[in-house]
Amino acid sequence: MLPGATAASGADSRRSLLIGATVASRLVTVLFATHAAYLDHLAGPRHPERPERLQAVLDGVQLAGLGDAIEPLVPVAATRGDLERVHPVEYLDRIEGICAAGGGRLDPDTYASSGSWHAATLAAGAGLAAVRALQDGRADAAFCAVRPPGHHATTNESMGFCFVNNVAVAAAALAAQGERVLIFDYDAHHGNGTQAVFYDDPRVLFVSVHQWPLYPGTGHYSETGEGAGRGHTINIPLPPGATGDVYLHAFDQLVAPAAAKFQPTWVIISAGFDAHRNDPITELGLAAGDYAPLTRRVLSLVPAGRRLVMLEGGYDLEALTFSSATVLRELADVAGAPIEHATSGGPGMAAVAQVVDHWVRDGLL
């Protein structure tokens, strides 16, 4: 049963899906944070960002087969002070008020239910709780299975199913402690909200690999940051059908040298799994096996104990199960046969070359 689930809960019919999906209780390597209250965020009938996504990730925990390498972590709701590092008071008050009144539409893409505010504060709080636990030496890495997702939320605008920018809240807290944070976003959609939060901030290196063109229409390779943050935003837009070898080439040619220059002390992955070839709302060509070498490369940028993964998108349930299991195995540094084989041969190498050329010509690489 998920943390926070009770027999008297108002969402028993949905929480019953999670019986039997528990994880081991003894600390070894990877913290796994989730909460039953995430099921109380309801985006509307037939909406792709649905509660069943959480069950798909829990199925991934079981499929990963890590046993005692997984330790449950119970999220605690982020405080207003935590959230206000990223979002202004007026914005937070508006969302909380709409939820308290029973819910309603925040923007054309994003609907709140009565339980959405509590879920959103727990989603942001999961990252903060994971950071604290990692700093205390409780594990080597953490995976936060949260909803609603966050990477489209700007400081003062909800977008694309997102309310609070969960990754930005965690990164802002770390930056306030003097850490240098690399955020790697491999969701198929550009993480426009995260980019906007840190666009002029040299403490954070934001990297987004995403489909182009696709919602929200941002993330051109010429968007590289401004002011003190110039050169601290890396956008790698890829064409439909791009495969895993293209992602790895982009990492090796651009992200790795930029990271060597930045010298991050923490890595946060915005883990959207909608770049999978079976996702119903995108057109990229990845399989679950592609997330293994890509995640491994990103994690290698910082020592163990400074690695945080937070769920973003991913709307095919089987793909979500396979992909989350693959990433959990990487976090635990467990080798094994791939759940799905990695892909190669798709388009995108020319797009990567164009991005690298732009960075070289601008003197940023």
Catalytic site positions = 152
Give residue 300's identity as a one-letter amino acid code: S
Pairing of strands 110-113, 103-107: antiparallel
Q: How far apart are the first and last CA of the chain?
A: 48
In Å, what is the CA distance from 119 to each residue of 62, 88, 148, 260?
A: 24, 19, 7, 36
Read off the tokens for 166: 């969960």
Distance CA 258, CA 237 (A): 17
Give the contacts of 102 (CB within 8 A, at least 6 positions apart). Answer: 113, 114
Give the contacts of 2 (CB within 8 A, at least 6 positions apart). Answer: 15, 18, 34, 35, 36, 38, 39, 54, 58
Distance CA 357, CA 254 (A): 10
Three-class DSSP category at 358: helix
